[in-house]
A and B are shown apart, each in its own frame.
Chain A
Amino acid sequence: MSTLEIRGLKVSVETENGSVEILKGVDLTIKSGETHAIMGPNGSGKSTLAYSIAGHPKYTITSGTVTLDGADVLEMTVDERAKAGLFLAMQYPVEVPGVSVSNFLRTAATALRGEAPKLRTWVGEVKGAMEALSMDPSFAQRNVNEGFSGGEKKRHEIMQLELLKPKMAILDETDSGLDVDALRIVSEGVNRAKAANDLGVLLITHYTRILRYIKPDFVHVFANGKIVEQGGPELADKLEANGYAEYVTA
């Protein structure tokens, strides 16, 4: 049983016009097996929350804490956070020219497991993960995210989620740019990872449609850098009907 605890998190970024505060005090607790949806309008700071937890150097934590089972996440380097059990599925996964998916996955698995996975079982693992996400076997020989379609990038992210077996996953707009079939395939992957590893999920999205496939236990409305309303799945229905207008100050 793991707990990711975010308390009073304030985050700034440096811009040409000086430091700008994006997160203005975020409190959130996620336990293993729970799915929390964070919903909010564009520019509300949802992605900043995701990248701050993962440790992107662009963001400066000005106050607050993030702990995973009591350990101070903010003190960890980016790779240490992954080793502690955090995973970020990115909205815009990065191209790494010249590095094959297969080499990348094996390097990551070796780092996270502390030893190189046995070749025989590993090949089967990767093949299984790719089949489950309806990915062509040739995918493993391509360079990481290079020339991938939007849907391929998201499948690749979720394939890593299944292979790398984190405790907590942050899915940053994993639904964006996916057609209905791809959305279903990707969602099934998330649900498999949840079932297999008792994964805690922080699902960041703008739209409610992914919530038809990945059922949230809690819904948080995010606006202007903080959580402004919380509830159960019924809150998503309300957002579907009314949109974010009432949360966005004119």
Chain B
Amino acid sequence: MTTLTTNYLTPTGREEAWRFTPLKRLGGLHDGTAVIADRRSLSLKGVAAEGVSFERISRELAAPLTESDDAIVGRIRENAADVAVLTIKANTEVAAPIFLNRSSGATDSAELSRVQIRIENHAKATVIIENSGDTHLAEDMEISVAPGANLTLVTLQEWDGKTIHAGRHHAIVDRDATFKSIVVTVGGSLVRLLPTVDFIAPGASCELLGVYFATSGQFFEHRMFVDHKVPNAKSRVNYKGALAGDGAHTVWIGDVFIRAAAEGTDTYELNRNLLLSDGARADSVPNLEIETGEIVGAGHASTTGRFDDEQLFYLMSRGINAADARRLVVRGFFNEIVSEIGVEEIQDRLMDRIDGELAKAGS
């Protein structure tokens, strides 16, 4: 049991932000009952490229970049002794993706992890965080994208079946900067991620992409928030999910706030879910709040449906059997986003995993 010096409210499940989450399955990450272990499981894979550094900085020297009223984030900040900081120096163009690896931990204790990714002025990089194995993890990741910088952040939740992972991935996007996030969640018992974006100067843009595949008993929640509080920023959200098996449950929340000052905003968000069997549940809630009419565009769409019989018929009429036809359709469904990762080895691995999830679901 940890005691908090500041008073973060422990969620009860009645709060808007927590109403879908099965709190009992959070392993005590939210109420301070989790046993904390200092695992420092995040590491840089290979040698740092020119202009890139990865280091652990004590928390006194790495203050949070943003405030948060999230109870889990609060507990992480109270307890984590240091911060893993990845820095990409100004004007550096890193050609190859930077890989961060989070090794398997334990499920009888929880790691509280603070991460900062700082990409400086006019630098350009792709960062890929690979999560695998089993662990309990609470994660407070802050991403600062400096003026003119261009960051693609890929987070791969390829967990095994017992993982509990609650993470906030908050990006602060400055003038004329570009932030692209690709979230892949295909493993774990409970995964709850908050990819949020704060535009702090005009001309910035973000693209939040994601795929998830939940099978029997898995709960995956992705809750975005894009805060348009400055003029002329652009945001795109596109998340695609598949569900199969009894008790598979996914939640997608797309909150976009266009404040009065955010003239010239251009935003569109989309969530599509493919229900592959009975007994699965997909919650999808797009939510657009608009305080100014002087915008380029704002829209959202959400669809949840089953296999398209006409697609399956078309493929099968060319000799492809039912199982292969379904596999092609599911791969095709996810391909739009998976292909954005741009690393063939990872894309192939994810597609194989998706095939495996589909086979496991027996559909």
Contact = CB atoms under 8 A, between A and B. Distances in A.
B320 interface: yes
What band does the interface of chain B fall in when counting residues whose beta carbon is under 8 Å from A? 20 to 34
Contacts of B311: 94-96
A83 interface: yes
Contacts of B332: 96-99, 143
A98 B309 CA distance: 16
A171 interface: no
Interface string A208-225: 000000000000000000
A107 B324 contact: yes
A80 to B, nearest CB: 9
Interface in A70-124: 77-79, 81-83, 87-88, 90, 93-99, 103-104, 107-108, 111-112
Interface string A156-181: 00001000100000000000000000
Contacts of A77: 316, 321-322
Contact of B328 (A57, A79, A96, A164): A96
Contact of A97 (B310, B318, B333): B333
B319 A111 contact: yes
Nearest to B338: A98
B283 interface: no
A144 B322 CA distance: 18
A57 B309 contact: yes
A248 to B, nearest CB: 30
Given A96-B329, A99-B329, A79 B322 contact: yes
Interface in B196-210: none
A107 B315 CA distance: 9
Nearest to A56: B313
Interface in B277-298: none
Given A93-B314, A96-B328, A82 B336 contact: no
Contact of B314 (A83, A87, A96, A98): A96
Interface in B310-348: 310-311, 313-322, 324-325, 328-329, 331-336
B329 to A, nearest CB: 7
Contact of B320 (A56, A90, A97, A111): A111
Question: Chain B interface mostly helix, strand, loop or mixed?
Answer: helix
A236 interface: no
A82 B331 CA distance: 23
Interface in A42-63: 54-57
Contacts of A164: 318-319
Nearest to B315: A96
- Give the interface size bracket for A toward B: 20 to 34
A221 B336 CA distance: 46
A79 B313 contact: no
B321 A98 contact: no
Most chain A CB within a 10 A radius of its CB, from B316, B319, B328, B332: B319
Nearest to A113: B319
Contacts of A57: 309, 313
Contacts of A95: 311
Contacts of A82: 316-319
A111 to B, nearest CB: 4
A94 B308 CA distance: 10
Contacts of B309: 57
Nearest to A58: B309
Nearest to B320: A111
A143 B311 CA distance: 13
A140 to B, nearest CB: 15
A196 B300 CA distance: 51
A248 B317 CA distance: 32
A79 B316 contact: yes
Given A57-B313, A96-B314, A96-B315, A79 B329 contact: no
Nearest to B316: A78
Interface string A124-148: 0000000000000000000110000
B287 to A, nearest CB: 26
A97 B322 contact: no
Contacts of B325: 79
Contacts of B314: 90, 93-94, 96, 144
Interface centre among A93, A104, A160 (most CB of B within 10 A): A104
Given A90-B314, A94-B313, A99-B328, A79 B335 contact: no
Given A56-B313, A93-B314, A79 B320 contact: yes
Contacts of A107: 315, 320, 324, 328
Given A56-B313, A88-B317, A104-B318, 18 more contacts: A55-B313, A57-B309, A77-B322, A78-B316, A82-B316, A82-B317, A83-B319, A93-B314, A96-B314, A97-B332, A97-B333, A98-B335, A99-B328, A99-B335, A107-B315, A111-B320, A112-B319, A143-B332
Interface of A: 54-57, 77-79, 81-83, 87-88, 90, 93-99, 103-104, 107-108, 111-112, 143-144, 160, 164
4 interchain residue pairs of minimum CB distance: A98-B332, A98-B335, A82-B319, A108-B318
6 contacts: A90-B314, A94-B314, A96-B329, A108-B319, A111-B324, A112-B319
